[in-house]
Amino acid sequence: AQSVTQPDARVTVSEGASLQLRCKYSYFGTPYLFWYVQYPRQGLQLLLKYYPGDPVVQGVNGFEAEFSKSNSSFHLRKASVHWSDWAVYFCAVSPLLLSGSFNKLTFGAGTRLAVCP
Amino acid sequence: EAAVTQSPRNKVAVTGGKVTLSCNQTNNHNNMYWYRQDTGHGLRLIHYSYGAGSTEKGDIPDGYKASRPSQENFSLILELATPSQTSVYFCASGDLTGAYAEQFFGPGTRLTVL
């Protein structure tokens, strides 16, 4: 069965500092991987997604993530954090499926990011 | 603009009462999902649907029913609400198109069962 672990429940960074949010996945085979962001009192929005190919994927608002099969990881990074990045970030995994199949997402518990001035 | 909407946005219910949460999508997606979000658990899948008339059990279906009367609408039903069902509920829609497996989420419904 697939699973996702986000080892850091809460991360605090200073505005302008760099950021890494960790994600470890468990899945036998090649997965789809996602990072979603949840701003206060809103639903989840997709930041970026990984499909087999280039291990570094670019997302919105300067976010990127790097897939590592050897480490079973998909860490999220940003070079310079802005106060508007204050949110909860979820990593998710889905099996690599054929078109038309059901795509079950398994989410991690989330990492709450706080940004200090 | 394609979107997923949920109603109500907030609901207070009494123990033993019936609660219906509604979801509407204009994405024309075949698949729809209901999740609940609890601190420390992320999002957990309750029920999902492949299309109108179909409902399937997710990972935590006990105490919940689902209904998909049309492509656009997917409801989550709590026949006998309990305080343990106090949570934030999210609806999502999504399809596999080629290699894509993205899901699009609604704004959530905050349910409190007293």
pLDDT in tens, B8-42: 999 999 999 999 999 999 988 888 999 999 988 88
pLDDT of residue B8: 96
Contact A99 B99 (CB under 8 A): yes
What whole-number percentage of chain A has pLDDT above 90? 73
Give Cα B58 to chain centroid, integer Å.
11
Task: Name the pLDDT band for B99 (thresholds 50, 70, 90).
Answer: very low
Does the beta carbon of B50 lie under 8 angstroms from any beta carbon of chain A? yes
Looking at the partner chain, which of B42, B98, B108 has a beta carbon nearest the beta carbon of A90? B42
Looking at the partner chain, which of A32, A43, A90 has a beta carbon nearest the beta carbon of B101? A32
pLDDT of residue A14: 96
| Burial (Cβ within 10 Å: 0-12, 13-18, ≥19) of residue B105 | buried
Give Cα A109 to chain centroid, integer Å.
11
Q: Write the CB contacts of A53 (distance below 8 Å, at least 6 apart in sequence).
A: none
| Burial (Cβ within 10 Å: 0-12, 13-18, ≥19) of residue A22 | middle
Q: Which of A60, A102, A106, A112 is the best residue to mutate to test the B interface, defined by the most B CB atoms within 10 Å of its own CB?
A: A102
Looking at the partner chain, which of B4, B44, B96 has a beta carbon nearest the beta carbon of A101? B96
Residue A28 is encoded by which pair of tokens? 């036998």
- Rounded CA gap, B67 and B76, in Å? 7
Q: What is the chain B residue with the closest CA to A47?
A: B102
Q: What is the chain A residue with the closest CA to B57?
A: A104
Between A71-75, A84-88, A97-101, B26-30, the lowest mean confidence (pLDDT) is in: A97-101
Q: What is the pLDDT of residues B71-85, one digit of tens each?
A: 999 999 999 999 999
